[in-house]
Amino acid sequence: MRVYLDNAATTAIDTEVLKEMYELMETQHGNPSSIHSHGREARAVVEKARKTVANLLQAAPAEIFFTSGGTEADNMAIRCGITDNGIKHAITSRIEHHAVLHTLEALEKSGLISLSFVRTDSMGNIDLQHLEDLLSANGRSFVSLMHANNELGTLTDIKAVGELCSQYDSIFHCDTVQTMGHYPHNLRELKVHFITCAAHKFHGPKGVGFLYINHDIKINPLIYGGSQERNMRGGTENIYGIAGLAKALSICYQEMDEHKAHIQALKTYMKEALVENIPGVLFNGETDPEKSLYTVLNVSFPEMEMADMLLFNLDIAGISVSGGSACSSGSNIGSHVLEAIGANPDRPAVRFSFSKFNTKDEVDYTISKLKEICSV
């Protein structure tokens, strides 16, 4: 049996998305920037997708800019949001994705900004009072905080963060890569300047995403070249990926309640089975379902002699999981997220992440293999 429980890293592409992309590949080969009929047809595909995304998020089409994925979108928001608006101080947390942390650290190293880190508790929750203290003490700032942590699943109250940023005339960037397609986002109500998306996190294709830029904020491009994306992102648009993104997001919104119920039940089932079958198991991040991303379960297993072989042994058993963030796979450096919340470094940690395609039988198989591995 082969089991895929690493959906926070990437998801299987939806059949309906594949169908939509294949049809376009067969019929649409024009360049969206060309003015002839083939180009106009390709342009119509892009603009239809942009309108679809905007309508789902309660945004204006002119606020949606397609990118190569979440990392590019984060870089564009942070680099351009800071440099083009004269921002000298930024605030983030130590548990952000490296696409955010490394970008801000590079700007600090170059002398463009000073960087402050808001405190987080042992569950990965943001200290909102400390955030307000930092905003009050440093003047207009650039705040970058993710909606859901990609390793822990802990959710941040981004509505409260947005209100604080608005109160202190600061710019708010929110990495929503893990929650896009899993939670509704109403950008008419949320006080946020930038949000980011990667289609492959919700059963869309890899290599495509978008950046939402609120109409109240002005930035210059990160990538110069052509006049694509209304002069905001040079490079010929990936029309097949863009159409696939819009189709995948549409499916997510249509089936969101059903999929949430299914996946949350799997997560709860696995958590209870782990407690019953693996003595001493602990969970990292928020355990309250209302404060935790329903697709992610981060588990610290008891100390064992072959702790560094846990992921390898699961892989041998046909079970694909992650030891934290997939972006750190292959590195001998431990998870910066688990370190920041004070997790015991001697306990091997595994992130199990679920999708609509997972089943209870897969969870049962995983638990049976974990019992074997942990009993050795």
Active site residues: 327
- In total, the chain counts a number of residues equal to 376
DSSP letter, residue 198:
E
CA 252/CA 263 separation, integer angstroms = 13
Angle between helical axes of 239-277 and 15-27 (0-180°, round to 10): 160
CA 177/CA 199 separation, integer angstroms = 8
Cβ atoms of residues 340 and 94 within 8 Å: yes
Q: Where are the beta strands (DSSP E) in 167-252?
A: 171-175, 194-198, 209-213
CA 352/CA 281 separation, integer angstroms = 14
Count Cα atoms within 13 angstroms, Cβ side, for 135.
Answer: 22
Tell me which residue of 199, 144, 152 sits closest to 177, measured CA to CA.
199
DSSP letter, residue 199:
G
- Amino acid letter at 255? E
